[in-house]
A and B are shown apart, each in its own frame.
Chain A
Amino acid sequence: MSLLTADRRAAGAGRAKGPAGRPRAATGRRALIWFGTHAVAIALAIMFMAPLLFMFLTAVMSDEQTLSGDLWPTSWHWGNFAEVLSGDMLRWLGNSLLYAVLGTVFMLVSSVPVAYALARFRFRGRKVAFVLVITAMMLPPQITVVPLYIVWARFELTGTLWPLILPLLFGDAFSIFLLRQFLVTIPRDYADAARVDGCGEFTTMVRVILPMARPALAAVALFQFFFCWNDYYGPLVYAKPDSWPLAVGIATFRAAHNVEWNLTMAATLLTVLPVIIVFLLAQRAFVRGVTLTGVKG
C-alpha cells in the first residue's frame, strides 16, 4: 500500500494523544469534524425516533384530530389506551404471551444440548450436522408450510398456536447455531476439570458450561421471545381469531375499528412498548447476541 504525505489524524484513532501542541488549523478542523459528525448523528437520531413519536402523539389525539394531519394534540386523550386495552386486545396479549413464553422455554430446553454436542463432541457427521443446521436456519419457512399444515390439520391443531409452539421442543436451528458459536469459545479446560471431578457429561454441561454461557443463553432467549412476539406469518396460517396473537390482531385492527387512527396507534404502541422496555433492560445481552452472528432477529 502506498500512502501519502498528508498529516492528519483519524478522528477516531489514537485517543491517547491530546490536542495539545497541535497547530491551530488542525484543532479547528477537528472541532469541525466533531461538530459535523454529531450534527449528522443527531439529525439521524431524530429521524429514527420520529415515527415512534408521531405514533405516540397520534395515540393521544381525538378521533377527529387524527384526520387533520396535525402534529400536536390539542387535547390529550389518555383514555385511548384504556379503550383499546380491553376485549380483543387482552385476549391477543394473552395469546402472544403464551406463544412467546412457552416457545422460549421449549427452545431453550431442546436447543441447548444440541448446541453443546455440536460444540464439544467429536463424532462422525458433525460437520454435516452443522451444515444442516445452517441450511435449516437459512431456508424460508414457506417451503415446508403446506405439508406441515396438512399434518397439523390431521391432528386438529390448526386454529391454535400449538403448531408454532410444539416444534420448538425439537430445537431451533438459529438458536443452536448461535449457542454453538458461543460454546466453542469456552476453553476446554473447564469441562475437563469438571470431568476429572467425576461429573457426567450432562452434569458438566448444566453445572459448569451453562453458567458460563449465561450471556449467550440470555441473547438466544431474547431473540426467541421477540421472534414469537413479532411472528405474523405463522399465526396467520394457523391461528383462528380467538387464538390470534397481537401481531395478527393489530393488522386487522384498523379495519375492525373503522379507521380510528388514534385507537390504532394506541394499540400499536402497546405492542411496541414491551419490546422497548425489555430492550432497555437487556441491551447488553442483545448487542452481544447480534454481534455473535448477525442473522435473523
Chain B
Amino acid sequence: MKGVDEKEYLAPGHRACAGCGATIAARLALKALGENTIAVSATGCLEVITTPYPETAWEIPWIHVAFENASAVASGVEGALKAQGKEDTNIVVFGGDGGTTDIGMQSLSGAMERGQNIIYICYDNEAYMNTGIQRSSSTPYGASTTTSPAGKESFGEDKFKKNMAAIMVAHGVPYVATACISHPQDLMAKVKKAAETPGPAYIHVLQPCATGWGYSPDKTVKLGKLAVDTHMWLLYEAVNGQIEVTVKPSQKLPVEEYLKAQKRFRHLDEEHIEIIQKFVDGQSKQFGLTE
C-alpha cells in the first residue's frame, strides 16, 4: 500500500490461527504508529499467540500483565514516560472484546476518565475466542457461542452488542472511532489521528475470526467487507463527540448475506434475521447513511 510503513512491527511466525483478524488489526495499527511506540496487551488471543516465551513477535517494547488491567498498566507506563521526559512515545493498548467490554471495562473507564494519553484499540471478534468462543457483551444478537448456544429453546445470544464507542464518547474521550480490518486505509488513518490527539483515544476494530465465526480462513477480509456493506458495522469517528461517518458503502446489502456466510448465525430463522435487519436499518438511519 502506498505511503504505508513497510517495516513490520508485529513479526510473522506467531501462533495465530490461519486467517486471524486480530493480527491484521495489530499489524496495521503498528504500521500507522511506527517504531516510537510501546504496546500493552490485555490477556487474550493476541497476547497468547505473539509471546510464547522465550519468543516474541513484537518488534517494539511490549508489556502484558493480566486480562482486565491493560488500561491501568498503560496508565503506569504513561506516568513513567512522563517522568522520563518521553512524552512523544505512543502508548497503544490492545484488548479483545472480552478484555475491553467486560472484564476490562473498569480500568478502561478509569484511564479514559483520567485523560491518560493512551490509544486504546479493542480488537473485537465478538466472543471469548482465546478460551473457546464464549459469549461476551460484544457478542451480537443471534450468534451461537459455546455459552449462548443455539438449541431447541434458544436462538443463540439474545442481546444486541454493547455500544462501546458510545460509552467512550460519553466519557468525553476526544477521539473515538470504529474501524474494520477490511478497510486498512481507514483504520490506519484513524490510528494516526488517535496518536495525534492529545489525551486518550479509543478505536473499536471489528475483526472477523474464522475459528469463532465459522467461515473459511481465506474469507476474513471479505467478512469484514460484508459487515460494512450490510451496515452491520458502521465506520465512523467521533472527534470531541462530533460523529462523522468515514466510509459510506456504495450499496447497502441485506444483513442476510453477512449472516449466511457464517456458521454462528446459520441457525437463524427469518424472524430473527428480520429483527437484526430492523436493528441495522435503525442504526443506518441514525448515522445518516440512509433516509
A binds B: no
B interface with A by C-beta (< 8 Å): none
